[in-house]
Amino acid sequence: MRTVPNRIVLNTKDIMLITGKSERTSRRLLKEIRSSARNTRVSFVSLEQFCSFTGMTREEVIPYLQ
C-alpha cells in the first residue's frame, strides 16, 4: 500500500531537510522551481514540481515529509 504524505506543498525547511543545503540555497532553489513552472512569487511549490525539477522520485522525498 502506498503512503500518502501529510502535505503536498514544500517550504524552505522541507528543502533544507531533503537536500541538506542551507536556508539561503533552499530559498534560491524554490525560486528557480517557481520560475521554471511559471508560478508567481507567492505560489506554492508542489511535491510533483520539486520532483520533476530535481529528478528525485516521490518515494525518495516522502519519508522526509512524514
Neighbours of 49 (CB within 10 A): 20
Per-residue pLDDT tens digits for 8-48: 899 999 999 999 999 999 999 999 999 998 888 888 999 99
Per-residue pLDDT tens digits for 52-66: 999 999 999 988 887
Query: What is the pTM assigned to this prediction?
Result: 0.83
